[in-house]
Amino acid sequence: MELKILITFKTIIRTGSFSKAAQRLNYTPSTITFHVAQLEEAAGVQIFEKSGRRMILTQAGEALVPYVDEVLEAARKIQNFQYDISGCHGTLTIGAPESMLCFRLPALLKRLHRHAPHVDLRLRSLSSRSVIEALHEDTVDIGFAYGVHDKDREQIDFRVFENSPAHFYTSPSVAARCPDMKTSGQTVAEVTRISMPRPGEIRALLDEYLRKKEISFTNTIELLSTQTIINLVENDMGIALLPDFSVQERVARKTLAIVPSEKIHVRSFCGTRKNKWHSPAMNLFFDILSEYKDAADAP
């Protein structure tokens, strides 16, 4: 039996549905159904049953889980044995927007470096569009981007990385005079909007939100650096739309405040060029990425 069938089984359990598992694994729904049928045929029992809109484990399916975990853990150990014996060498080039490079990827890169200290990492801070162009040109091995168009998937395999909440942030002192971002049809004159220039996925998200709410600003500051935008906002310069993960520490220290708004989410993806050979370092990074996502999805 192929490991991908067992991975499908575990992914259905983690996500709670066949459709979400298909999205997570970049499979068609029919592939997920086929994998489940193969597993049920091999085990000789029904492992899922429908409860409302959810697929839940049968009693036999629950009994099967520890056996599947044991096989997958053994496979993981074999993979790590391969890394230990052959060693990971060469160069791994990763491109990502600055906000992800600064605030999301360091923990993953730390684990990669711990397991493969001899790999030369090349980290490129790029806009999402530039990351996708670099993937097309094969100048980066792995790319992270906010927002993916259908045409981008023709030559690139993408998987969802995160669906992160975002808010409007400002300093506590500016928050005292800053209007909320929920009220439609207002012109904000006393507070400056700070944002990335066009094009850019987060900038597009900001523009679309303000357009729908018919909110306009009289003053704007534009710059390319997310870190500098955060520093300006923290120093009473204005308001900015930022992913929550990029400012968690500052919010905890109460140097930044959330401005009320409607719900906003930033979706990010991880991609590689189709048919690209995956080096041991790439495979190791994707293993680390999967473990990170599994931990994030755990209740």
Contact at 8 Å (CB) between 243 and 99?
Answer: yes
Q: To which residue do tokens 């489940």 refer?
A: 36
| Lowest-pLDDT range of 47-51, 169-173, 232-236, 246-250 | 47-51
Cα–Cα distance, 13 to 56 (Å, whole number) = 8
Lowest mean pLDDT among 80-84, 105-109, 135-139: 80-84
Assess whether 198 and 257 both reside in one domain: yes
Higher pLDDT, 194 or 79: 194
How many domains does the chain fold into?
3
State the pLDDT at residue 239.
97
Range of the domain at 254: 164-265
> Which residue type, as a one-letter code, is found at position 265?
H
Q: pLDDT tens, 166-184?
A: 999 999 999 999 999 999 9
Domain boundary among 22, 53, 85: 85
pLDDT of 81 strictly over 60 = no
Contact 263, 184 (CB under 8 A): no
Across 24-33, average pLDDT: 89
State yes or no: pLDDT of 77 exceeds 80. Answer: no
Predicted local distance difference test score (pLDDT) of residue 85: 41
Residues 56 and 197 in one domain: no
Sequence-ordered strand ranges (E) for the chain: 48-51, 54-57, 91-96, 120-125, 142-146, 156-170, 187-188, 193-195, 216-217, 220-222, 240-243, 257-273
User: Do residue 181 and residue 233 come from a single domain?
Assistant: yes
- Mark whether 202 and 133 lie in a shared domain: no
Q: Are 186 and 216 in the same domain?
A: yes
How many beta carbons lie within 10 A of that of residue 241, not counting itself?
25
Q: Are residues 45 and 188 in the same domain?
A: no
Strand order of the β-sheet with 240-243 is 120-125, 91-96, 142-146, 257-273, 156-170, 240-243
CATH of the domain at 30: 1.10.10.10
Domain co-membership, 200 together with 117? no
**Based on the domain organization, do 77 and 34 belong to the same domain?**
yes
pLDDT over 90, % of the chain: 51
Rounded CA-CA distance 108/95 in Å is: 14
Note whether 95 and 18 are same-domain residues.
no
Tokens of 110: 């730390």
Looking at the structure, tell me whether residues 245 and 285 fall in a common domain.
no
Token code pair at residue 111: 């684990």
Single residue among 85, 100, 118 that ends a domain in this structure: 85
Q: How confident is the model at residue 86 (pLDDT cuts 50, 70, 90)?
A: low
pLDDT band at 80 (very low <50, low <70, confident <90, very high): low
CATH number (domain holding residue 204): 3.40.190.10
Residues 274 and 157 both lie in one domain: yes
More confident residue, 240 or 18: 240
pLDDT of residue 87: 59
249-298 per-position pLDDT tens digit? 999 999 999 999 999 999 999 999 988 888 888 888 998 898 877 666 55
Per-residue b/e over 114-139, b at no fewer than 16 CB within 10 Å?
ebbeebeeeeebbbbbbbbbbbeeee
- On whether both 115 and 73 belong to a single domain, the answer is no
Q: CA–CA separation, 257 vs 235, rounded Å?
A: 12
Of 85, 100, 119, which residue sits at a domain end?
A: 85
C-beta separation of 281 from 116 below 8 A: yes
Mean pLDDT, range 19-47, rounded to an integer: 89
Q: Which residue has the higher pLDDT, 133 or 82?
A: 133
Degrees to nearest 5, angle at CA 242 with 238 and 244: 125
- Higher pLDDT pick, 87 / 121: 121
CA distance 299 to 236: 38
Hey, what are 62's tokens? 């629950």
What's the pLDDT at 234? 96
> CA 284 to CA 185: how far, in whole Å?
50
Per the listing, tokens 């995956």 go with: 278
Report helix, strand and coil shares of the chain as percent, to nearest 5.
50, 25, 25
Return the number of other C-beta atoms located less than 10 Å from residue 204's C-beta. 15
The residues near 102 (Cβ < 8 Å, ≥ 6 apart) are: 226, 227, 246
Average of per-residue pLDDT values in the chain: 88
27: which residues sit within 8 A by CB, 6+ positions away?
A: 8, 21, 35
Instruction: Tell me if 256 sits within 8 A of 234, measured CB to CB.
Output: yes
